[in-house]
Amino acid sequence: MNKLGNALYEIHHMDMLAAKDQWVNRLHPLVKLVLTIVFLTVTMSFQKYDLTGLLRMGIYPIVLFIVGEISFCDSIRRLRIVLPLVCFVGLFNPIFDRQVIGYIGTVPLTAGMLSMVTLMIKGIYSVLAAYLLIATTSIEKICYALRLLHIPAILVTQVLLTYRYVTVLLEEANRMTQAYSLRAPNQKGVHFKVWGTLAGQLLLRSMDRANEVYESMTLRGYRGEFYYTAKEPCKAKDWLYLGVWLALFAVLKVTG
């Protein structure tokens, strides 16, 4: 499979994970979305030297990985491009903050090193929390939850359609590169002389396709408001799940 094919596969794989018939997948999307937001807020609120408190917050992604039966290794592999970028943000802390706060054996531990690690962990938690949300909740359900939070319809529709059109764009690009490679068997990749033509073609084709999808939506009653999924009330188990996690976050924050 080429790179574009792989990218498509990854997107479809996320859809497949979200469509699994698991207990955690069946929870109300609003509960999962609120918990993700609360988890991120609490995580970010920890002091920059509070490594212990931060590490204890790891219980949330760990539990979700287990109950959602999501492979940790696969997730890390999927996030391999984002995670280094997230880790990069704290890289200069040891240079600017050199106050020694302890020793590991004979190696001095500086405040900058500690804050770098906490910053990296915060970044990793954020990415994992977002990943776990989309791995257990379909994009339609996330959008439904966003609307329940009164996020404007136009913004939510943008989120949904961007997600859908990314695959449209990738599929078009995949078709074009496949057609190209079949007629240029001895070339590695696409020759730079045709980059412009291919990019132009891709833009035009994607616009055409996007227009057709939009036409199809309007023909079936679309008026600017997406009715994402069946309206479902929060059940007792959803409230219980939310309550338990909120209480735990409160305890972890207070005792951190």
Q: Which residues bind other proteins (CB under 8 A)?
A: 8, 12, 15-16, 19, 138-140, 164, 167, 171, 209, 212-213, 215-223, 227, 229-231
Place of tokens 């997600």: 163
CA distances from 150 to 33, 88, 145, 153, 160 (A): 13, 34, 9, 8, 15
Report which DSSP code applies to 193.
Answer: G
Quote the tokens at residue 164: 């859908």
Residue 23 vs 92, nearer CB to other proteins: 23
- Give φ, ψ of 254 to 5 degrees: -65, -40
Residue 228 vs 249, nearer CB to other proteins: 228
Least distance between other proteins and beta carbon 19 (Å): 7
Closest CA to 39 of 17, 62, 21: 62
Residue 16 vs 100, nearer CB to other proteins: 16
Quote the tokens at residue 188: 């590695």
Closest CA to 162 of 174, 151, 154: 154
Residue 150 vs 220, nearer CB to other proteins: 220
